[in-house]
Structure 1
Amino acid sequence: MREAARTPREDRTRTIGITAGAVAFVGGAMAALWLPTMLPMWGCIAIAVVALAIAVISAKAGIHARATQLMAIVAFGFALAALHANHAMSIRLPASLEGQDTRIRGRVVDLPDREARRVQFLIRVDDDASQTDALRGRLLRIAWYDGGQSRSPSVYAGSRWEFDARLRAPRGLRNPGWFDAERHALANRLAATGYVRNAASAREIAHPAGLQAWRADVASRIDAAIDAPVARFIRALALGDTRGLDDDDWATLRATGLTHLIAISGFHVGLVAGFFALLASLPWRLLPSLALRVPRPIAMAVAAVIGALLYTAVAGFALPTVRTTLMIAVVAAVRCARRAQSSFAALSLAVVAMVLVDPLSLLGAGFWLSVCGVAWLLWCLPNADGGVLRAFASAQAVATIGLLPLTVALFGQASLAGPVSNLVAIPWWSLVVVPLALIGTALDALHAGLGVRPWRIAGHAFDATWPAFVVIGDSPFAFAWLPEARWYALPFAAFAALWVLLPRGVPGKPLAMLLWLPLLWPARDLPPHGAFRIDVLDVGQGLSALVRTASHAVLFDMGPASHDGYDAGERAVVPALRALGVRALDVAIVSHADSDHAGGWNAVRNAMTIDDSHAPEGSPSPVASRCIAGRTWQRDGVRFRYLHPTEHFPYLGNDAGCVLRIDGAHGAALLTGDIGEVVERALVRRDPAALRADVVLVPHHGSEGSSDPAFIAATQARVALVATGAGNRFGHPRAEVVARWCRAGARVFDTAGGGALRVDVGLNGVNTAARRETHARLWDAARRSGRMAGLCYRRNDGPGPEE
Structure 2
Amino acid sequence: MEGPSCDPAPRAPFGPAVAAALVLGVLACARLPALPPVPLLLAAACAGLAAWWRWDDWRRLAGALALGAALLGLHASWGLHGQLPPALERGDFEVQGRVVQLPEHEPRRTRFLFRVDRDAGQPEALRGRLLRLAWYDDRDSAASPRLDLVPGSRWRLTARLRAPRSLRNPGWYDGERHALASRLAATGYVRSGEPWQRMHGAAGIDGWRDTIATRIDAALARPSSRFIRALALGDTRRLDDVDWEVLRATGLTHLIAISGFHVGLVAGFFALAVAGLWWLLPGLGRWLPRPQASACGALLGAVGYAAVAGFALPTVRTVLMIAVVVLARLWRRPMGVAGSLALAAIALLLADPLAVLAAGFWLSFAGVAWLAWCLPGVHAQPLLRGFLSAQWVATLGLLPLTAVLFGQASLAGPLANLVAIPWWSLVVVPLALVGTGLEALGAGWGGPAWRLAAWCFDLSWPLFEWLAQGRLALWWLPEPHWLALPLALLGAFWLLLPRGVPGKALAALLLLPLLWPARALPAPGAFELVVMDVGQGTSVLVRTAHHALLYDTGPAQPEGFDAGERVVAPALHALGVRRLDAVVVSHGDADHAGGLDAIRRRFPTGPVFASADAGIDRAAPCLAGSAWQFDGVRFAFLHPDLHFPAMRNESSCVLRIESAQGSALLAGDVGAVVERMLVHGQAASLRSDVVLLAHHGSDKSSDPAFVAAAQARLAIASSGHGNRFGHPHPRVIERWRRAGAATADTSRDGAVRVRIGDATHIERRRSRHPRLWDAVRRADAAR
- TM-score between both structures, scaled by the size of structure 2: 0.96
Q: Does 1:231 align with 2:225?
A: yes
| Equivalent position amino acid for 2:317 in 1 | R
Q: Which residue of 1 aligns with 2:582?
A: 587
Q: Retained in 2: the 8 A contact 1:702–1:733? A: yes
Question: Does residue 1:155 correspond to 2:149, yes or no?
Answer: yes
Q: Does 1:120 align with 2:114?
A: no
> 1:197 Cα shift?
0.8
Deviations 1:221-247 (A, max 9, x none): 111122221111111111111111111
Q: Conserved in 1, the CA contact under 8 Å of 2:154 and 2:199?
A: yes
Query: How much has 1:332 moved relative to structure 2?
Result: 1.6
2:482 equivalent in structure 1: 487
1:369 aligns with 2:366: no
> For residues 738 and 315 of structure 1, do their structure 2 counterparts lie closer, same or farther at Cα, with a shift above 3 Å needed?
same
Tell me the C-alpha RMSD between the 2 structures. 2.2
CA contact (8 A) 1:536 1:544 kept: yes
2:321 is the counterpart of 1:327: yes
- The equivalent residue for 2:640 is 645
Please state if 1:267 is matched with 2:261: yes
CA–CA distance in 1 between the matches of 2:158 and 2:82? 20
SS class of match (1:110): strand
Shift of 1:196: 1.1
Residue by residue, what CA displacement relative to the aligned partner does 1:749-801 show, whole Å, maximum 9, x if unpaired?
000011111011111x22211111111111233566799xxxxxxxxxxxxxx
Check 1:618–1:426 CA distance in 2 against 1; reply closer, same or farther (3 A cut). Answer: same
Q: Work out the CA distance in 2 between the residues paired with 1:702 and 1:664.
A: 26
Is 1:693 the counterpart of 2:688? The answer is yes
Offset of residue 302 of structure 1: 1.5
| 1:793 corresponding residue in structure 2 | none
| Deviation of the 1:635 alpha carbon | 2.3
Match of 2:291 in 1: 297
Deviation of 1:514 after TM superposition, in Å, equals 0.5
User: Within the alignment, does 1:76 sit opposite 2:70 as a pair?
Assistant: no
User: Where does residue 203 of structure 1 map in the other structure?
Assistant: 197
Give 1:461's match in structure 2, choosing from 456, 460, 469.
456
State how 1:50-89 maps to structure 2 within 5 Å: 50-57=47-54, 59=55, 62=56, 66-89=57-80
The verdict on how the C-alpha distance between 1:294 and 1:12 changes in structure 2, with shifts beyond 3 A counting, is: farther
Contact 2:11 2:17 in 1 (8 A): no
Contact 1:615 1:623 in 2 (8 A): no
Summarize the alignment of residues 279-428 of structure 1 with structure 2, pairs less than 5 Å apart.
279-286=273-280, 291=285, 293-384=287-378, 385-428=380-423
The one-letter code of the counterpart of 1:177 is: G
Q: Structure 1 residue aligned with 2:243, among 245, 249, 257?
A: 249
- Tell me the residue number matched to 2:668: 673
Measure how far apart 1:382 and its partner are. Answer: 0.5
Alpha-carbon distance change, 419 to 476 in structure 1, aligned in 2, over 3 angstroms: same
Q: What is the CA–CA distance in structure 2 between the aligned matches of 1:785 and 1:591, rounded to whole Å?
A: 38
Q: Is 2:614 the partner of 1:619?
A: yes
Q: Distance in 1 between matches of 2:736 and 2:123?
A: 41
What is the match of residue 771 of structure 1?
765
User: Match of 1:502, SS?
Assistant: coil
Match 1:164 to one of 158, 176, 182 = 158
Amino acid at match of 1:84: H
**Using the alignment, how far apart are the partners of 1:12 and 1:507 within structure 2?**
31
Rounded Cα–Cα distance in structure 1 between residues aligned with 2:328 and 2:14: 16
* AA in 2 matched with 1:513: A
Q: Which moved more, 1:174-183 or 1:163-172?
A: 174-183
Instruction: Provide the rounded CA distance (Å) in 2 between the counterparts of 1:178 and 1:355.
Output: 23
Post-superposition Cα deviations, 1:488-510, rounded to whole Å, max 9, x if no partner, equal 11111111111111000000001
Moved more, 170-179 or 553-562: 170-179
Q: Which amino acid aligns with 1:593?
A: G
Mapped partners of 1:437, 1:343: distance in 2: 30
Find the aligned partners of 1:386 and 1:137 in 2 and give their Cα distance: 52
Question: 1:439 and 1:625 mapped to 2: Cα distance?
Answer: 57
Is 562-571 or 291-300 further displaced after alignment? Answer: 291-300
| Residue 450 of structure 1, CA deviation | 2.1
Corresponding residue for residue 790 of structure 1:
none
Counterpart among 77, 91, 98 of residue 82 in structure 2: 91
AA in 1 matched with 2:128: G
Matched, 1:173 2:167: yes
Shift of 1:148: 3.2
Residue aligned with 2:29, SS: helix
Aligned partner letter, 1:270: G
**8 Å contact kept, 1:642–1:659:** yes
CA contact (8 A) 1:542 1:559 kept: yes
- Residue number in structure 1 paired with 2:21: 24
Hey, what does 1:276 align to over in structure 2? 270
8 Å Cα contact 1:694-1:717 kept in structure 2: yes
Equivalent residue letter for 2:32: L
> Separation in 2 of the partners of 1:12 and 1:519?
38
AA at the equivalent of 2:69:
F
- 1:408, CA displacement in angstroms? 1.1
Q: C-alpha separation between the residues in 2 aligned to 1:454 and 1:371?
A: 33
SS at match of 2:135: strand
Contact 2:86–2:780 (Cα < 8 Å) also in 1: no
Name the SS for the 1:611 alignment partner: coil
Taking a change above 3 Å as real, the CA distance of residues 557 and 220 of structure 1, as seen in their structure-2 partners, is same
Distance 1:308 1:495 in 2: 34
Q: Is the 8 A contact 1:178 1:572 kept in 2?
A: no
Q: Is the 8 A contact 1:176 1:579 kept in 2?
A: yes
559-568 vs 82-91, which deviates more? 559-568
User: Structure 1 residues 9 and 133 mapped into 2: Cα distance closer, same or farther (>3 Å)?
Assistant: farther
Q: How many residues align?
A: 777
| Partners of 1:701 and 1:164 in 2: CA distance | 30
Q: How far does the alpha carbon of each residue in 1:695-752 deviate from its partner, in whole angstroms, 9 at most, with x for none?
A: 1111111101011111111111111100000000100000111111111111110000
- Distance in 1 between residues matched to 2:599 and 2:130, nearest whole Å: 35
Please give the alpha-carbon distance, in whole angstroms, between the structure 2 residues aligned to 1:599 and 1:660: 19
Residue 323 of structure 1 deviates from its aligned partner by 1.3
Letter in 1 for 2:100: V
Say whether residues 1:107 and 2:102 are aligned partners.
no
Contact persistence 1:527–1:549 (CA under 8 A): yes
**Is the CA contact 1:163–1:199 (under 8 Å) kept in the aligned structure 2?**
no
Percentage identity across paired residues of the two chains: 57
How much has 1:529 moved relative to structure 2? 1.8
Name the SS of the counterpart of 1:620 in structure 2.
Answer: coil
Match of 1:3 in 2: none
Residue 291 of structure 1 deviates from its aligned partner by: 4.8
Check if 1:140 corresponds to 2:140: no
Aligned to 1:505: 500
Give the stretch that moved more between structures: 501-510 or 140-149: 140-149
The match for 1:704 among 693, 699, 702 is: 699
Which amino acid is the alignment partner of residue 361 of structure 1? A
SS at match of 1:732: coil
Q: Could you tell which deviates more after superposition, 512-521 or 144-153?
A: 144-153
Match of residue 47 from structure 1: 44
Alignment partners' CA distance in 2, 1:693 and 1:371: 52
SS at match of 1:781: helix
C-alpha contact 1:616 1:627 (8 A) present in aligned 2: yes
**One-letter amino acid matched to 2:324:** V
Describe the shift of the 1:605–1:786 C-alpha distance in structure 2 as closer, same or farther (beyond 3 A).
farther
CA contact (8 A) 1:694 1:766 kept: no
Partner amino acid, structure 1, of 2:139: G
Normalising by the residue count of structure 1, what TM-score does the alignment of the two structures yield?
A: 0.93
**Alignment equivalent of 1:684, drawn from 669, 679, 683:** 679
